[in-house]
């Protein structure tokens, strides 16, 4: 009798269900979204206080400082990407879902980007002003963050999956993932500097986009494999 009104749904709808769940959870636990963002603001604001108000120096440092701060802030929320689902058994159910786990992982990484990467992109110009960056430089900074933070979420999800259920997972996660973030950092911060010194930025942006495509293709498979190991 119960089999009569089963309506099958598509893969996209399942991914959307994950996305909706993550976002509604984040709206209920606003602290979890705001903490990394405030961290970003505080770290980036400490630099002008530390090195003094010399505007030429600040302007020169800005892209690097803002990118490193964004990197650390994005990392802060990574640990929770799978942790609570692992603890309450939801992750097992996801692994047993008829939808491939790889697609669910993509939805999870996308939700991480929307909830922690995108706020950083929107906050960056405000902080850039503190460093005396001009309008076009701010635009480039936002663009590089917009291209770079999804890569951070995707690559970070591998580390989050590998360190599931491990004690001291936070520190281990940083050690695993920060070296992998180096290319994104180099091309992200490099683009803004290249613009400031009058060189073209299209090369840097293309490389950032290429890194994103690469991560989008490989990271979900690596994360899925890592999750399966953690669940055994």
Partner 1 sequence: MAGANGIGKTSLLRMLCGLAPVESGDILWNGTSIRSQRSAFQRDLCYLGHLNALQESMTVHENLAFAAALGGFAPAPGQIPDILTRFGVGGRGEHIVRHLSQGQKRRVALSRLALSPARLWVLDEPFVAMDEAGIRMLAQLIAQHLAEGGLVVLTSHQPVEIDAFPAQILELRA
Take residue 91 and report the two structure tokens written for it: 């992750």
Q: Which of 51, 54, 90, 166 binds partner 1 (CB under 8 A)?
A: 90
- Of 94-102, 129-137, 161-169, 175-183, the segment contacting partner 1 by CB under 8 A is 94-102
Question: Cα 140 from chain centroid?
Answer: 18
Task: Say if CB 185 and CB 106 are below 8 A apart.
Answer: no
Q: 1 vs 49, which CB is nearer to partner 1?
A: 1
Secondary structure class of 9 (helix, strand, coil):
coil
* Cα–Cα distances in angstroms (integers) from residue 102 to residues 93, 94, 115, 213, 218, in the given order: 14, 10, 20, 16, 10
- Of 50-58, 97-105, 201-209, 219-227, the segment contacting partner 1 by CB under 8 A is 97-105
Q: Which of 12, 38, 51, 84 binds partner 1 (CB under 8 A)?
A: 84
Give dist(CA 221, CA 74) in Å, integer.
21
Give dist(CA 204, CA 210) in Å, integer.
10
How many CB atoms neighbour CB 34 within 10 A? 12
Judged by CB under 8 A, the chain residues 157 through 196 that form the site for partner 1 are: none
- Of 80-88, 133-141, 204-212, 214-222, the segment contacting partner 1 by CB under 8 A is 80-88
Q: 85 vs 152, which CB is nearer to partner 1?
A: 85
- Of 22-30, 38-46, 117-125, 147-155, the segment contacting partner 1 by CB under 8 A is 22-30
Take residue 30 and report the two structure tokens written for it: 């606003």
Give dist(CA 156, CA 76) in Å, integer.
10
Q: What is the smallest separation between the CB atom of 14 and partner 1, expressed in angstroms?
A: 5
Q: Which of 77, 79, 99, 224 binds partner 1 (CB under 8 A)?
A: 99
Name the residues that contact partner 1, by CB under 8 A.
1-3, 5-9, 13-14, 17-18, 21, 24-25, 28-29, 84-85, 88-90, 92-100, 231-232
């Amino acid at each position: 009798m119960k089999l009569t009104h089963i309506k099958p749904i598509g893969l996209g709808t399942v991914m959307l269900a994950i996305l909706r769940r993550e976002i509604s959870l984040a709206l209920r636990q606003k602290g979890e979204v705001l903490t990394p963002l405030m961290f970003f603001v505080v770290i980036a604001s400490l630099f002008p206080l530390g090195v003094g108000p010399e505007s030429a120096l600040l302007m020169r440092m800005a892209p690097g400082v803002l990118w490193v701060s964004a990197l650390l802030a994005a990392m802060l929320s990574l640990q929770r990407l799978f942790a609570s689902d692992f603890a309450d058994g939801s992750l097992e159910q996801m692994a047993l879902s008829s939808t491939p786990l790889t697609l669910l992982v993509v939805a999870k990484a996308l939700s991480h980007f929307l909830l922690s990467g995108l706020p950083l992109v929107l906050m960056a110009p405000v902080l850039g002003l503190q460093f005396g960056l001009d309008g076009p430089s701010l635009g480039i900074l936002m663009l590089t963050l917009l291209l770079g933070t999804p890569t951070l979420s995707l690559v970070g999800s591998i580390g989050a999956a590998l360190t599931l259920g491990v004690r001291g997972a936070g520190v281990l996660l940083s050690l695993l993932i920060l070296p992998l973030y180096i290319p994104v950092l180099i091309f992200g911060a490099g683009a803004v500097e290249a613009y400031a010194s009058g060189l073209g930025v299209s090369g840097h942006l293309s490389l950032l986009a290429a890194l994103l495509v690469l991560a989008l293709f490989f990271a979900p498979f690596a994360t899925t494999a890592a999750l399966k190991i953690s669940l055994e």
